[in-house]
Amino acid sequence: MRRWLALLKGFRNIFVKELKELMRDPKILLGMIIVPLIMFPVLGGIMSFSMQTAQEQAQKASVLVLNNDDGDFSAILISNLSTTVKVFVENATSPEEALSRNLLSHYNSTQFIEIPSGFSINMSEHLAGNKSVKASVKIYSVFSGSGMFEDLSSSMFDYFIEGFNRQFQPNIVYSERSSIIKGEIKNVDPRMLSTLMLSQAIAMPITIMILLTYSMQIAATSVAMEKEEKTLETLLTLPIDRFAVLMGKLAGSIFVAGIGAVTYMIGFNFYMGSFTSSFSAGANVDLVSLGLVPSLFGYLLLGISLFVTLLSALALAVILSAFAEDVRGAQSLVGYVYPFLFIPSFVLMYVNIESLPFALKMALYAVPFSHPIIASRAVVMGDYWTVAFGIIYVTFFTLAIMYAASRLFATEKILTLKLKFRGLRKNKKEPVE
Amino acid sequence: MSLGVAVETVGLAKDFGSIHALKDLNFKIERGQVFGLIGPNGAGKTTALRVISTLLLPTSGQAKVFDLDVVRDAREIRKIITYLPDEAGVYRNLSGKEYLEFMGRFSARNRNELDEMIRQAADICGLGERLKDKAKTYSKGMKRRLLVARALMTKPKLAILDEPASGLDVLHAYHVRAIIKRYVKEHEVTVLLSSHNMLEVEHICDQVTLINKGIIVAEGKPEELKERYGSANLEEVFAKVVGFA
């Protein structure tokens, strides 16, 4: 019994000491408790806002109806549809003609319904008792690869047709769906395409998130280790340009992170392939023939975008680690950048940046880590300007950070800078003996 | 007989915010001398060494190394000095030899020169076959010997050694001091070293400067100082100078 009491006493003493040590460390407090408390509500807020926006947009959406039927039932269908959404009607127009005449952009719509000729006749036959005859409508939606909530507007049609059928007879009208990809009609259900593309939309942000996190840790550790072991002091007194020291360190981190990224991507590709291949086999969706894989130029742009972002992250990590005295301090400091990495990644996984309000959109564009994710989607859709803009922006950001890093390395600040967490003031009172 | 001045500081001061680490430091080091900057912890020794080795900028005053100004001619100074920081580490995953090669490449003009440097360093540190092992397997004494060898192998005009025998046991410290003494004689290297161990300085330095709270409190040859203050060793001299004894 006495032994147990002694053990408990020892345990309690250590436990209380640990709690004091850990909870009084502002880096741990901020990184482990405050950041998640802020990050997740922010994420949740953005997600629910995006969902709401997508729903509102779906309700506000206008629909073009290509009416090729001259019967009464098509008139009823159009009239019913008008009560739900804003409807524009074009008579005797084929889908191909609608596209060639740019009718979608003319009516500011992203989808149209074709009521084929014979619609009313089929309805009448079905109602007369010939159940084998059914009427159909064809729904064409522009596929933008914009994320999780892209389906919302197209699912609205399901409810509408269900409601229309309820008015007459169950299953009297069925819908066929096609996608409009890069201005061409493809016989693929956009809902299926969205699901398939979503798996890819998740893969890229996760890969980028891990790659950037990993490389920032490497770079920060590499500088902090030199500071901790005082090998940096030795390096800085050698007959070598300090910019070369900085670049050498960055290049080393990039190389290791690059190997990590490649192995990670290979592994992740196998993982994603394990279910996308079975999915696409079943659904007969071939992304290559649909033009939904990046071109060689697209891959090149994506690679450049990823590279400049990686460089900006590494330079940032080097600067932050200059404020730390040791490896632990550097890793904690780098941790403050993670919300800027995680939030855009999570948001852009599910939400089209264009659907966000202006301020939020600008905030996401301002974060350099958003750009490779935006680029990964844009190259699929052939939107190279967006990628190019991102590359230019991140390059300028990187140059600014690199300049700051090189200035830091060129002066004594690399050795004397320390960040005081209370008030985040630079601590200049620390003597260096 | 004077061979000329290797290092000269005039009114050298360094502030860190409101802390005055160095105040009006004036001293000269003759070429080929082993010069000791000695004082207790926090006296400003490391700061002085860092300024002279171009790591820190002086707040005011001047420091010159072989007539080169530490601010204006920092790049040139780095070509003729080596600096060994106090409690410095080595790259854990490099072998001793790889570490020496890495450091040597910054100064060596060709492979032969590099090989000669490595041979010198191996001789100085006396690590033998252990040079092939990763540095993380070395004891503290072995690491320090490797670092001292690194600082001397390039035959710098000025070797700045901050507490060269810090944290070492008696035998290792003795070995490191012996290395420095021998090397200086053989290659006419000027050495500026700092130490808070005043007894060890007595054995190795030609000239010492006692520093306390950023200012020089006494200077001279060890024997002269002992005589001047009627003390048995430099420790006593220091205590008398700062009013402890």
- Any chain A CB within 8 A of the CB of B86? yes
Rounded distance, CA B144 to CA B86, Å? 10
Average pLDDT, stretch B195-221?
A: 86
Alpha-carbon gap, residue A62 to A320, rounded angstroms: 50
B5-88+156-241 carries CATH number 3.40.50.300 = yes
pLDDT score for B137: 92
**Rounded CA gap, B215 and B212, in Å?**
6
Q: Nearest by CB to A231, which of B43, B82, B88?
A: B88
pLDDT at A388: 93
Which residues make Cβ contacts (< 8 Å) with residue B165, sequence separation at least 6? B144, B172, B173, B176, B177, B195, B197, B200
Helix, strand and coil content of chain B, in percent to the nearest 5, comes to: 40, 25, 30
Query: Quick one: A54-187 is in which CATH superfamily?
Result: abc type-2 transporter like domain (3.40.1710.10)
Rounded CA separation A136/A164 (Å): 12
Determine the Cα–Cα distance for residues A174 and A189; give it in Å rounded to an integer: 14
Residue B80's Cβ-count burial label (10 Å; 0-12, 13-18, 19+) is middle
Q: Which residue has the higher pLDDT, A309 or A33?
A: A309
A65 token code pair? 């109806």
| pLDDT tens for each residue of A226-253 | 888 888 888 889 888 888 888 888 888 7
- pTM of the complete model: 0.71
Gap from B41 CA to chain A (nearest CA, Å): 7
Write down the pLDDT at residue A425. 44
- With a pLDDT cut of 90, the percent of chain B lying above it is 41
β pairing state of B81-84 and A184-186: unpaired
- Between A255 and A419, the higher pLDDT residue: A255
Residues of chain A contacting B84 with CB distance shorter than 8 Å: 234
Residue A244 touches chain B, beta carbons under 8 Å: no
B88 is written with which tokens? 């410095």
Distance CA A346, CA A352 (A): 11
pLDDT digits (tens, 9 = 90+) for A82-113: 887 888 888 888 888 888 888 888 887 888 88
- pLDDT tens digits along A279-331: 444 455 566 666 666 777 888 888 888 888 888 888 888 888 878 888 888 88
Max intra-chain CA distance, chain A: 100
Nearest to B54 by CA among B64, B45, B41, B40: B64
Going by their DSSP bridges, the two strands B5-16 and B60-65 should be labelled as antiparallel
CA distance A206 to A272: 12
Q: Look at strands A135-142 and A111-115 and give their pairing.
A: antiparallel
Q: How close is the nearest chain B Cα to the Cα of A232, in Å?
A: 9
* Span B136-161, average pLDDT: 90
Rounded to 5 degrees, what are φ and ψ at B159? -105, 125
Task: State how far the Cα of A237 lies from the Cα of A233, in Å rounded to an integer.
Answer: 7
pLDDT at A423: 42
List the domain boundaries for chain A: 54-187, 195-426
Q: Vertex A153, ends A49 and A281: CA angle to 5°?
A: 110
Q: Cβ atoms within 10 A of the Cβ of A303, count?
A: 12
Taking chain B, what is the end-to-end CA distance rounded to the nearest angstrom?
35
Which residues are registered as beta bridge partners of B219? B209
The mean-pLDDT minimum among A2-16, A49-63, A217-231, B5-19 falls in A49-63
Cβ-contact A393, A371 below 8 angstroms: yes
Mean pLDDT of B58-75: 93
Instruction: Assign B232 to helix, strand or coil.
Output: coil
Residue B9 near residue B52 (C-beta atoms within 8 A): yes
In the β-sheet with A111-115, what is the strand arrangement from edge to edge? A86-91, A62-67, A111-115, A135-142, A173-181, A184-186
In chain B, what are the domain boundaries?
Answer: 5-88+156-241
Report residue A286 as tokens. 């071939």
pLDDT at B131: 92
Judge: B89–A229 Cβ closer than 8 Å, yes or no: yes
The nearest CA of chain A is from the CA of B188 a distance in Å of 21
Find residue B35's DSSP bridge partners.
B192, B207
pLDDT bin (cut points 50, 70, 90) of residue B191 is very high
Residue B126 has a pLDDT of: 84
**Span B93-117, average pLDDT:** 90
Chain A residue nearest residue B75, CA to CA: A239
CA dist., res. A279 & res. A361, Å (int): 33
Nearest to A374 by CA among A395, A351, A392: A351
Nearest to A163 by CA among A261, A70, A76, A270: A76
CB contact under 8 A, B89 and A428: no
Closest partner residue to B44 among A229, A416, A433, by Cβ?
A433
pLDDT band at A145 (very low <50, low <70, confident <90, very high): low
DSSP state of B95: B
Instruction: Give the residue from chain A lying closest to B159, CA to CA.
Output: A237
Cα–Cα distance, A180 to A58 (Å, whole number): 18
Question: Where residue A421 falls among pLDDT bands split at 50, 70, 90?
Answer: very low
Q: What is the mean pLDDT of residues A362-369?
A: 91
Residues of B in contact with A230 (CB under 8 A): 85-89
Whether A35 has a pLDDT exceeding 90, the answer reads: no
Is the pLDDT score of A149 beyond 90?
Answer: no
Task: Report CA-CA distances (Å) from A255 to A211, A261, B95.
Answer: 12, 10, 22
Nearest to B55 among A236, A428, A433 (CB): A236
What would you report as the CA-atom Rg of chain B, rounded to the nearest whole angstrom? 18
- Per-residue confidence band for A264, with pLDDT thresholds at 50, 70 and 90: low
Sequence-separated (6 or more) residues with CB below 8 Å from residue B115: none
Q: H/E element holding A55?
A: helix A35-60
Report the distance separating Cα A120 and Cα B19, nearest Å: 92
Q: Output the 3-class SS for A163-218.
A: HHHHHCCCCCEEEEEEEEECCEEECCCHHHHHHHHHHHHHHHHHHHHHHHHHHHHH
